[in-house]
Each structure stands twice: as structure tokens, then as C-alpha cells.
Amino acid sequence: MIAETAKSLNDHLIELRHAFHSHPEVSGQEKETAARVAAELRTIPGWQVTEQMGGHGVVAVLQGAKPGKTVALRADMDALQITEENDVPYKSQNPGVMHACGHDIHTTALLGAAHLLAGQQAQLCGTVRLIFQPAEELSPNGGSRAMIAAGALGDADAVFGFHVWPDLPHGEVGCIAGPLMAASDHFSVTIQGRASHAAKPDEGIDAVVVGAQFINAVQTIISRCTDPLQSAVITVGKFTAGTRYNIVAETCELEGTCRTLNNEVRDFIEAQLQKTLDGICAIYGAKGTLNYERGYMAVVNDAQMTEQARETVEKLFGKQAIHSHEMPSMCAEDFAFYLNEKPGAFLWLGTGIEGETSYPLHNSKFHVDEDILWRGAALLTQLALDVTADGSQEA
């Protein structure tokens, strides 16, 4: 029933999605997006809407006619600083900004769930809270913590969300209990050497060489110092040094990221980076400074809530829609902070189309088949109905 009603809503969802997609706003600037979300919610009977939570966040609450649990559903609203290359009528009209991560789809699907849940209010057990969150892309200080601090979760018993996922076939849903996505940390290193003429390197301390040795050495933290069954990544993405080709560089600066799924491994890697830097600098007589900044924690799904999600997916789309063979991703998501507060699950909703080029998230040509909109709306709606109803049985 929910699936069929959601399908009938898809034309309206497409219109909404086109409006969001053509007017993207980056993290912290989602003023017009949030206003459109709130305006749409106020056209739907039953929802109590609160704006400007945690910045440009919007929260809507629907009280069911029967007692039961409280479930929170979350979508993110911000776009990325990417120039869109898709040639579509609803192409971004904001130069240099694009919904290349599918947040316009998440927002639209949650609005679809608002419509569907309003139609079920008489049968709804408990309460549903919709969280439209700004600044998900603003690592390491994404918008979830500000929303939580502002009371967006309220007295929720569980929280759910999803992310479109081009690595999975269209319409299939990834449901993994335990770690799903990685913690994302940022580090920067400054190495102080001593300049000299390039023809007399023995009179200087070459910061380029020290930096290169550091980069090579940190890779052994993963390959030789961590459990091979514990996933971890260290990537140095930026290396800046030197002023001229014939001068031994006096300083170099490095920046990189660490991705981990386990808190113990996270702690270990941070400590090992410092030890490695100290050791390399001691060998060459240089001085090194490490600045390690913790960003998003790992997304860890509750086992019971993940099983509930599997049952919901099977009920809606059939058992074949459950994609159970995927591995965790080393990408990050600040939905992790909601799961640190409440039990719940974050799901992947597949958008890959067989025979078509599947552009990855954060790509200037990322696009989806908009049939995915009703699927996302139905998934969120059915999750809310199933979990709140479970609460009514316990009462």
C-alpha cells in the first residue's frame, strides 16, 4: 500500500527535486532550501514545523493517533562546490555549486515521507520527527551536532536515514549491522629544516627529503602495525615545499586524512603518526609539528535496528532488494553522531543502472534515475510505521 501510494506521488517529488537541484546551496548557506522545505511541510496537514534549528535546520513533528515509540528520520540539504556538467533542464543555476552527493534526493524523499505519513496519521502509533539537516559536508564540524544540541532528536527511540549509493544496483538497499562508514580525521604536518645551496646539500637539512621519508614511513603504519583485518587508510593529499629549484627546501607542509572503523585503531594511528614524525625528524635533524584533528566518527548501525530495516525492505520491495554482500565504506557521514545518541541504522539505496555509466558521488556528472525518489520516500515511511507500531505492541 505504501509503495503504491508513493509511486503516485512521484511526479510531485520530481518537481521538488528539480527545484532543489537547480538551486543548490553549500554548507551553512541553505537558507532558501530550508525555506522551501518548511513551506512544503506546511502544506501537509498534521506536521508541526520548527525552523532555524542548528543553523538552517528544519524539524517537523507528527503525533500519531495511537501510543507508540518516537522515530526520527533524517535528510541532509547542502550541496558541494562543484560545477555541474549534466545537460539537463534542471541543471544547477548556481555557478560552481552542485548537488553531486544526492542530498537533494534525500531531502525530497523525506518530504515524500511527510506526505505519506500524514495520510497514515490515524493509524500511526507514536510520533515521527523529521530532521532536515544543514552542513553535512562541512567536515570536521558538520551540522548534525548542532542539530542534536538544538534538540532535533527530542525523545526519539530510534533514528534512521539513507544515502543514495551508485555502487549498488538501482533500488537495492544495503543494510549492514555494525560499522558501515569510517571515521574521518584530518592531519597536517610542518617540517622545519635548513636551507642551503642545492649544490651543497650537506650544509642544509632538506625538508623535502624528510617529508618524503615521512610519507613513505606512515604507509607502514597500515601495512605493518595494524591488524590486517581492521580496515584503515592513511592518505597524504597535499605536499607543499621549497621556493626555487636550486635551493634546499627549508620547510615543507603536508596534509592528509585517516579513515578508520574502530576507535582503538583510530587512537593507535594518531599516536603512531606522532612517533613516526618524531623519529624521521630525529634522523635528519629536522623539527616536525603534527596537528591532528578528529572529524566525523564511524557510522555504526545498531544490530536490532538493522534487522528491522531488513524486514521493512523485504516487506516493501521483496527479499531480492536486500543487498547483503557489500562491505563497509571508508567514506564518512556525520549521521554517525545521531547513532551515537540513539539506536538506529543508516542505509544505502542503490542508484546504479546496468549498462549505463554510473558516475560516483562528488562527480560533476553524478545523476540518478528519478524512480528512486518514491522508493526513498516509501522506505523512510515504512520504517517509521514499523518501528512506532512495534512500540505500541510493547505498551
* Shared-domain flag, residues 238 and 166: no
Around 370, how many Cα atoms within 13 Å sit in the side-chain half-sphere? Answer: 15
**Mean pLDDT for the stretch of residues 369-382:** 98
Model pLDDT for residues 21-48, shown as the tens digit of each residue: 999 999 999 999 999 999 999 999 999 9
* CA–CA dist 280, 287 (Å, integer): 9
How many other CB atoms are found less than 10 A from the CB of residue 81? 12
Number of domains in the chain: 2
* Shared-domain flag, residues 264 and 366: no
Whether 155 sits among the annotated catalytic residues: the reply is no
Q: What is 17-58 written as a DSSP string?
A: HHHHHHS--BTT--HHHHHHHHHHHTTSTT-EEEEEETTTEE
Whether 253 sits among the annotated catalytic residues: the reply is no
Q: Check: CB of residue 113 under 8 Å from CB of residue 132.
A: no
Residue with cell 520548527: 50
**Mean pLDDT for the stretch of residues 100-110:** 98
The domain spanning residue 169 has which CATH number? 3.40.630.10
Q: Check: CB of residue 57 under 8 Å from CB of residue 131.
A: yes
The pLDDT of residue 55 is 97
**With bands split at pLDDT 50, 70 and 90, how would you rate the model's confidence at 389?**
confident
**Mean pLDDT for the stretch of residues 186-193:** 98
The pLDDT of residue 380 is 98
The pLDDT of residue 185 is 97
The pLDDT of residue 394 is 43
Nearest in space to 128 (alpha carbons), one of 109, 106, 153: 153
Model pLDDT for residues 291-309, shown as the tens digit of each residue: 999 999 999 999 999 999 9
Model pLDDT for residues 322-358, shown as the tens digit of each residue: 997 779 999 999 999 999 999 999 999 999 999 999 9
The pLDDT of residue 33 is 98
- Secondary structure of residue 236 in the 3-state scheme: strand
* Shared-domain flag, residues 27 and 161: yes
Nearest in space to 160 (alpha carbons), one of 301, 334, 324: 301
From 296, 324, 339, the end of a domain falls on: 296
**Mean pLDDT for the stretch of residues 237-265:** 97
The pLDDT of residue 179 is 96
- Secondary structure of residue 138 in the 3-state scheme: coil
Q: Per the residue annotation, which of 25, 30, 76, 78 is the catalytic one?
A: 78
* Shared-domain flag, residues 65 and 166: yes
* Shared-domain flag, residues 292 and 363: no
Q: Between 392 and 362, whose confidence is greater?
A: 362
* CA distances to 50, 96, 105, 268 from 164, in Å: 26, 22, 8, 32
Q: Tell me which of 28-37, 113-122, 199-208, 352-361 is least confident.
A: 352-361
Q: Which three cell numbers stand for residue 212?
A: 618524503
Burial category of 372 from C-beta neighbours within 10 Å (exposed 0-12, middle 13-18, buried 19 and up): buried
* Shared-domain flag, residues 286 and 311: no
The pLDDT of residue 121 is 96
The domain spanning residue 239 has which CATH number? 3.30.70.360
From 280, 296, 312, the end of a domain falls on: 296
- Greatest extent of the chain over all pairs of C-alpha atoms, in Å: 83
Taking phi over 0 as left and psi of -120 to 50 as alpha, with beta for the rest, 46 belongs to left
The pLDDT of residue 395 is 38
Q: Which amino acid appears at position 342 of this protein?
A: K
* Shared-domain flag, residues 313 and 250: no
**Mean pLDDT for the stretch of residues 173-197:** 97
* CA–CA dist 320, 322 (Å, integer): 5
Within the chain, how many helices (H) and strands (E) appear? 10, 16
Taking phi over 0 as left and psi of -120 to 50 as alpha, with beta for the rest, 327 belongs to beta
Model pLDDT for residues 308-319, shown as the tens digit of each residue: 999 999 999 999
* Shared-domain flag, residues 291 and 315: no
**Mean pLDDT for the stretch of residues 171-181:** 96
* Shared-domain flag, residues 105 and 187: no
Is the model's pLDDT at 246 over the cut of 70?
yes
From 281, 296, 311, the end of a domain falls on: 296
- Our measurement of the distance from residue 127's CA atom to the centroid of its chain's CA atoms, rounded to an integer in Å, reads 25
Please state, for a pLDDT cut of 70, what percent of the chain lies above it: 99
Q: Which three cell numbers stand for residue 123?
A: 493509524
* CA–CA dist 302, 216 (Å, integer): 37
* Shared-domain flag, residues 103 and 190: no
* CA–CA dist 128, 89 (Å, integer): 35
**With bands split at pLDDT 50, 70 and 90, how would you rate the model's confidence at 392?**
low
* CA–CA dist 214, 234 (Å, integer): 12
Query: CA dihedral in degrees (88, 93, 99, 102; nearest 10)?
Result: -50
Q: Per the residue annotation, which of 30, 136, 250, 302 is the catalytic one?
A: 136
Is the model's pLDDT at 173 over the cut of 50?
yes
* CA–CA dist 155, 98 (Å, integer): 34
Q: Which amino acid appears at position 147 of this protein?
A: M
Nearest in space to 21 (alpha carbons), one of 102, 134, 75: 102
* Shared-domain flag, residues 265 and 305: no
**With bands split at pLDDT 50, 70 and 90, how would you rate the model's confidence at 89?**
very high
* Shared-domain flag, residues 15 and 79: yes
The pLDDT of residue 283 is 97
User: 30 lies in which domain range?
Assistant: 2-180+299-394
Q: What is 140-194 written as a DSSP string?
A: TS-THHHHHHTTSSTT-SEEEEEEEEEEEETT-EE--SEEEE-EEEEEEEEEE-B
